[in-house]
Amino acid sequence: MHLIRSSTRQVAWAHKKEVAADLKPIYTAVNAEAAELALSEFDQKWGQTYPMVAQSWRNVWVNVVPFFKFPADIRKAIYTTNAIESINASIRHIANNRALFPSDDAVYKLLFLALTNAAQKWTMPIKNWKQALQQFAVFFPGRVPLTDN
C-alpha cells in the first residue's frame, strides 16, 4: 500500500487514476513472475513520463516478492495497513500530548488505554477474514488456533 501511495505522489494529478489502474496488475499478480512482467509493461507505458515510479518499485523489489508467496486470501487480508496505521495514529496522538512520563508503568497504562480505545473503533471485520484465517492455518500449521469465538 505504501509503495502505491509513494508511486502516485510522483504523478501529475491528471494521470493519477490511469497510473493507479496500470499499477494494479503488478500488486494483484498471481505470482512474482507475472508481477515482474506487469511492472515491465507499466515501465514501457509510463517509463518516459514517470521514470522514477518503476524505478522505485525495482529498488524495493526484493521486499515485494515475498508477498507473492502467500495465497490470494492471505494477500487480501494483509494488503492494506489501515489497522496498523490506525493503531499508530492513536498511540501518536496520545503520546504527543504528554511531554514526559513519570514511570514505565505510566507508559504501559497509556498504551493499554490507547489500544483499548482503538479497538472500540473497529466495528467492521477484515474483508474475507474467514477465508484468510483458514489459509493462515494451512500456511502456518500449529500457529493459528481455530476456535469458534
Do residues 81 and 53 lie in contact, with contact meaning Cβ atoms separated by under 8 Å?
no
Cell 467492521, located at residue? 124
Q: What residue ranges do the domains of the chain occupy?
A: 2-68, 78-139
Instruction: Encode pLDDT of 73-120 as tens digits.
Output: 778 777 666 677 777 888 888 878 777 788 889 888 888 888 888 777
To the nearest whole number, what is the mean pLDDT of the chain?
83
Report the percent of the chain where pLDDT is more than 90.
14
Is pLDDT above 80 for 137? yes
* pTM assigned to the model: 0.64
Is pLDDT above 60 for 71? yes
Do residues 132 and 79 lie in contact, with contact meaning Cβ atoms separated by under 8 Å?
no
Q: Comparing C-alpha atoms, which of 67, 96, 98 is closest to residue 2?
A: 67
Grid cell locating 142: 500449529
Angle between helix 129-139 and 72-79 (nearest 10)? 120
More confident residue, 100 or 124: 100
Instruction: Encode pLDDT of 27-44 as tens digits.
Output: 888 889 999 999 999 999
Q: What is the mean pLDDT of residues 116-138?
A: 78
Residue 28: per-residue pLDDT: 86
Q: Residues 63, 65, 68, 69: is their CA dihedral positive or negative?
A: negative
